[in-house]
Amino acid sequence: MLDLLRQFLRAEGVEQASARLLVAVSGGSDSLALLHMLCTLHRAGGPTPIVAHLDHGLRGAESAADADFVAATATAWGVRAIVGRAHLPPGTTPAEARTARYTFLATTALAEHVDAVLVAHQADDQAETVLMHLLRGAGPAGLRGMRARVEWSEWAAALIESGQAPPHGPPLLRPLLTVSRSELAAYCAAHQLTPRDDPTNRNLHYVRARIRHVLLPQLASENPQITAALTRTARICAEDYDFIQTMLADQWPNLIVEQQSDKVVFERAALMSIHPALRRYALRRAIAELGAEEPGLAHLDAALHLIGGQSGRSTQIAPQVTLVCDQQTVTLHLPSALPPPAPQLTTPVTLPDRGIVPLANDWQCIVQDHPPAHPDRWWLGLAQRPSAPLQLRPRRPGDRMRPAGAPGRRRLQDVFVDLRVPRMLRAAWPILTTVDDQILWVVGLRVAAGVAASEPNQATMWIGIVHSATTRQE
């Protein structure tokens, strides 16, 4: 086992004496065995371990005793121990405790200038994680379980996003994922170590405890090698996931029209041309690059359905991330990337064959023959050039239109309600019409049937509504 750890550290480039490793030690058998092995390697000229322990304060005197035990053990073994105290309130969930623990590890790692942070998750923990994700309906990303190496940008993402941590820091390493719980317990016994016991691990109120003490034993009666089988599944899914990410990286430049810190714009046709599975991962990557939380499968599937449907629709795909599907593009954006509301019209405006018409509040209407570089929902390419001037006007009582892709005529009021346009904006929302008042376009929202060109290069005229704060004009 010691050789396995040495090989792992060598592969990660942190086996040398100058390396500083922050080791998360709870006092249980897994982390105690890991610390003992690291101390053994250190005495033989290996890296320097530094112990990190967080007392969550959830078990009163028991958790305080755990902290004292870890500190005393570190002192006895000749290494430094950094003990933090969180004072979490009663009823704190395991997920909340984990967040506090990893926040402590991240801040301590930065303060100590370590080369890596080590945690003692082992093969049985991996099997439990895979099974937990399987029960939730995860795909390859979830079924890979825990990874042996997680970069700082991922495991400290919450701190980075909140401005509490820099964008670069040490990786999180799990050197024991191929070692079983029983092997680590045997190591402790062989070296006369006396680990602490956390009764929370047996509390069947928690999902992981039920998986560990109820579900896995039942599965083991069918397959005694269930832990090995689940860890093998994790390895296979990890390899598949890496392959998918490689394919996506190759396709990414062909999919992206524009990418900024607060928005990612896909070319809709390119996105639709790739396999649905890869399309899902493209959305996941875009959300990750916006710094948002991982979306659920239901939100992803709803977004994929929207992308394959009508233009001009939007949905919230993840917390703080909105997906907008236009005729030519699919945009994922944070609230900071929202364009100003559409111009509010109080009187009709006649449009020229070509040119720019100023509108209120720094908006303008552009009429041109050539397509813009990046046509979004604020641009309309007409299939036929009108025989008479068009006009922009506000909504009128009784307005109806025949939306593209929808059966029959619809009241404009219903269109606004369906799209959740704020009530205060509806009356003066710009509407593009013909001289005989046929509605062609509810600007930025809905196009009438037969109006839009099927391809950008087939449009006879382009009409765009552009704000000075945006870059829609080309």
For the domain that residue 113 is a member of, what is the CATH number? Answer: 3.40.50.620
Range of the domain at 383: 349-467
Same domain, 173 and 277: no
286 and 376, same domain (yes or no): no
Q: Is 153 annotated as a binding residue?
A: no
158 and 59 co-located in one domain: yes
30 and 167, same domain (yes or no):
yes
pLDDT, mean of residues 337-363: 84
Distance, CA of 217 to CA of 184 (rounded, Å): 19
Within a domain: residue 243?
no
In this structure, the chain runs to a length of 474
In a shared domain, residues 35 and 95: yes
356 and 297 in one domain?
no
- Among 337, 363, 395, identify where a domain stops: 337
Exposed e or buried b per residue across 71-83, where buried means at least 16 C-beta atoms within 10 angstroms of its C-beta: bebbeebebebbb
Q: Is 295 a member of any domain? A: yes
- 370 and 430 inside one domain: yes
Please tell me the predicted confidence (pLDDT) of residue 423.
74
Report the pLDDT value the prediction gives residue 138, as an integer from 0 to 100.
84
Q: Of 288, 303, 337, which residue constitutes the final position of a domain?
A: 337
122 or 426, greater pLDDT: 122
Does residue 214 share a domain with residue 91?
yes
- Residue 245, domain member (yes or no): no
289-322 confidence digits (pLDDT tens): 888 878 878 888 889 998 988 766 778 888 888 8
* 473 has a pLDDT exceeding 70: no
Distances (CA, A) of 384 to 7, 267, 439: 69, 24, 15
Q: What is the CATH number of the domain that holds 319?
A: 3.30.465
Q: Residue 87: what pLDDT? A: 82
Question: Which tens digit of pLDDT belongs to each residue from 126-174?
Answer: 999 999 999 988 888 889 999 999 999 889 988 887 888 898 999 999 9
Spatial distance between the Cα atoms of 231 and 226, rounded to a whole number of angstroms: 9
Q: Is 31 annotated as a binding residue?
A: yes
Pairing of strands 81-85, 391-393: unpaired
Task: Beginning with the edge strand found earlier in the chain, give each strand of the sheet holding 349-350 in spatial order.
Answer: 349-350, 391-393, 431-433, 439-442, 446-447
Q: Is 387 annotated as a binding residue?
A: no
Q: Which helix (H) or strand (E) holds 48?
A: strand 48-55
pLDDT single digits (tens) 392-450: 999 999 999 999 988 889 999 988 888 777 676 788 899 999 989 999 999 989 999 99
Same domain, 281 and 428: no
Whether residue 27 is found in the same domain as residue 120:
yes
Number of neighbours of residue 364 by Cβ within 10 angstroms: 17
322: β partners: 316, 333
What is the reported pLDDT for 471? 46
- The separation between CA 210 and the C-alpha centre of its own chain, rounded to angstroms, equals 28
Comparing C-alpha atoms, which of 301, 438, 451, 286 is closest to residue 379? 451
Average pLDDT for the chain: 90
57 marked as binding residue: no
289-315 exposure pattern, b = at least 16 Cβ within 10 A, e = fewer: ebbbeebeeebbebbbebbeeebbbbe
Annotated ligand binding at 182? The verdict is no
Residue 85 lies in a domain: yes
- The answer for residues whose C-beta is within 8 angstroms of residue 96's C-beta and 6 or more apart is 88
Pair (330, 375) in one structural domain: no
Please report which helix (H) or strand (E) contains residue 313, including its range. Answer: strand 313-318
Last residue of a domain, which of 211, 232, 253?
A: 232
What percent of the chain shows pLDDT beyond 70?
Answer: 97
- Tens-place pLDDT, residues 190-211: 999 999 988 888 888 888 899 9
472 lies in a domain?
no
Number of folded domains that form the chain: 3
At 340, the pLDDT band (50, 70, 90 cuts) reads low
Same domain? For 318 and 358 the reply is: no
pLDDT in tens, 36-64: 999 999 999 999 999 999 998 778 888 89
Amino acid in the structure at residue 426? R
Q: Would residue 95 count as lying in a domain?
A: yes
Annotated binding residue 30: yes
Q: Convert the pLDDT of each residue in 213-269 to its tens digit.
A: 999 999 999 999 999 999 999 999 999 999 999 999 999 999 999 898 888 999 999
Shortest CA distance to 280 belongs to which of 322, 245, 237? 245
pLDDT at 256: 95
Distances, alpha carbon 308 to alpha carbons 5, 131, 298, 301, in Å: 49, 33, 16, 11
Q: How far is CA 130 from CA 125, 137, 212, 235, 351, in A?
A: 9, 11, 12, 10, 61
